[in-house]
Chains A and B, each alone.
Chain A
Amino acid sequence: MQKIYCPSRQQKLRGYKGSDAPVCLSPLKKNPSHMMYYVESKWGDNTMSVQNYHALCSRHTGRAVVIGTRDGRTHRGIIQGVRGNRVFLEPFGRQRNIGGFGYGFRYGYGYGGRGFGFGRGFAFGAGIALGSIVTFALLPFFFF
């Protein structure tokens, strides 16, 4: 079972159906200035299903988030989209262009970009596997 802390008002989380819907607790107790939702599983490991994260991430497309993964890393960025079992983030700020000349393949350009349907020129190459997400937090706009 997961607990989801919501903003001060009782907000029903869309995207969850059936009996496995996470319990919604209110008001937000943890670090209220930085996080609006805080998702964690009861046992501290990742028991929230990939489908739930798929719904959570696609619902917050275009929002600034911090995602913690099982290997202990945190990823900050704006969600560009979810494809397959990966969520793609665009890192904050202008990415420094390291340069180099390619063979013709570049992620986010050409067919790849069009198929993805992202508005911006390029996508964050790697993406984060939904199965490896442990924490997911939304950032308010003043934070970045």
Chain B
Amino acid sequence: MTVIGTDKWIEESGGDPAKICAKLSRYFPSASAKEIQHHLTQFGMYISAKQGSALTKKLQTNNVWDISSNEFKLLRSKWNGPSVPVFIFPSDSDNKVLTREFNGKSGLAFADKIFLFISPNNSETEIKAILTHEYNHVCRLNLFPKREEDCTLIDTIILEGLAEVAVAERFGEDFTSSWTSLYSDRQLKRFWKEFVYPNRDHIKGSPIHEKVLYGSSRYPHMAGYAVGYYVVRNFLKSTDYHAEDLLSLPSTEIARL
């Protein structure tokens, strides 16, 4: 299974996200369609039926599904990864934060599926970059001994760092996410010591994990993501490895704990 024809789904259902999520429920055995919709919209999926059908037409003219399909085949042979379904949906064009900071693109990866939320403004390389990021997660999650719910903060930031290093290696620093260049190395070193290291054992889903990762309340914006990129970059500098060689390496080894 590769890229799913979600453009056809949107055309058939008139763009209604609730109907789309009902179709998705067989990929989420333990969640209802409403819960899936709530979860996906949190990560940048489009909101209204009108938005959905208008944006899908634009994405179709940009050949987003073909580009992703070819890129996915390339990545699979490169990393020897599993075959997982890739769902592509338009992103929420009305969200100013998403547009300003991420140029309207977002994604979500599970061990067995990928979601991409793309805006019509995204270039071909940007689409390839986000697919690279998310597929890197899939490959690592499948080589990783831990289950997703047992992942700790250190695992998450290394996972995110690895994915973005893979993007930087393939397409250059220009196509990495905005959070890779938010802070200087000195700041990141301090963040690691002050915010990430003391909280490294908080498991995924706990409030501290989310706060450090995204940087809300007293934590700097996108602290976890930025520190993850910094840690992986530092590790690669001192070794001859490439990002894809680290896919199965334990997080504690990469972070040199």
Contacts A111-B221, A112-B97 hold; do A102 and B216 have CB atoms under 8 A apart? no
CB atoms of A102 and B35 under 8 A apart: no
CB atoms of A101 and B31 under 8 A apart: no
Of residues 90 to 123 in B, which have CB atoms within 8 Å of A's CB atoms?
94-95, 97-98, 101-102, 105-110, 115
Any B CB within 8 A of the CB of A106: yes
- Of the residues A102, A103, A105, A124, contact of B38 by C-beta under 8 Å: A124
Of residues 33 to 61 in A, which have CB atoms within 8 Å of B's CB atoms?
none
Contacts A101-B160, A106-B214, A125-B41 hold; do A111 and B35 have CB atoms under 8 A apart? no
Contacts A109-B214, A110-B222, A111-B101 hold; do A101 and B42 have CB atoms under 8 A apart? no
CB atoms of A126 and B47 under 8 A apart: yes
Q: List residues of chain A with CB within 8 A of the CB of B101.
A: 104-105, 111
CB atoms of A98 and B39 under 8 A apart: yes
CB atoms of A97 and B205 under 8 A apart: yes
| Binding stretch for chain A, among B57-65, B66-74, B130-138, B231-239 | B130-138
Any A CB within 8 A of the CB of B177: yes
| Binding stretch for chain B, among A11-19, A20-28, A113-121, A135-143 | A113-121
CB atoms of A102 and B207 under 8 A apart: no
CB atoms of A104 and B225 under 8 A apart: yes
**How long is the Cα–Cα vector from A111 to B179 in the complex, in angstroms?**
12
Of listed A84, A91, A106, A121, residue having the most chain B CB within 10 A: A106
Of listed A102, A104, A121, residue having the most chain B CB within 10 A: A104
Of residues 79 to 108 in A, which have CB atoms within 8 Å of B's CB atoms?
84, 91, 95-108
CB atoms of A101 and B216 under 8 A apart: no
Q: List residues of chain A with CB within 8 A of the CB of B48.
A: 129
Interface SS, A side: loop
CB atoms of A102 and B36 under 8 A apart: no
**How long is the Cα–Cα vector from A115 to B95 in the complex, in angstroms?**
12
CB atoms of A98 and B216 under 8 A apart: no
User: Nearest Cβ distance between residue A94 and chain B, in whole angstroms?
Assistant: 11
Q: Residue on A with the closest CB to B156?
A: A101
Contacts A98-B31, A98-B36 hold; do A105 and B221 have CB atoms under 8 A apart? no
Q: Residue on B with the closest CB to A129?
A: B48
Any A CB within 8 A of the CB of B11: no
Of residues 77 to 93 in B, which have CB atoms within 8 Å of A's CB atoms?
none
CB atoms of B216 and A113 under 8 A apart: yes
**How long is the Cα–Cα vector from A108 to B38 in the complex, in angstroms?**
12
Q: List residues of chain B with CB within 8 A of the CB of A113.
A: 216
Q: List residues of chain B with CB within 8 A of the CB of A127.
A: 47
Any A CB within 8 A of the CB of B43: yes
CB atoms of A110 and B216 under 8 A apart: yes
Contacts A110-B215, A111-B101 hold; do A99 and B42 have CB atoms under 8 A apart? no
Q: List residues of chain B with CB within 8 A of the CB of A111.
A: 97, 101, 221
**How long is the Cα–Cα vector from A124 to B37 in the complex, in angstroms?**
10
CB atoms of A110 and B221 under 8 A apart: yes
CB atoms of B110 and A105 under 8 A apart: no
User: Nearest Cβ distance between residue A86 and chain B, in whole angstroms?
Assistant: 8
Known: A101-B159, A110-B214, A125-B40. 7 other contacts (CB 8 A): A100-B109, A103-B102, A103-B108, A107-B44, A111-B221, A121-B216, A124-B38
Ranked 5 nearest A-B pairs via Cβ:
A125-B41, A109-B214, A125-B42, A103-B107, A112-B97
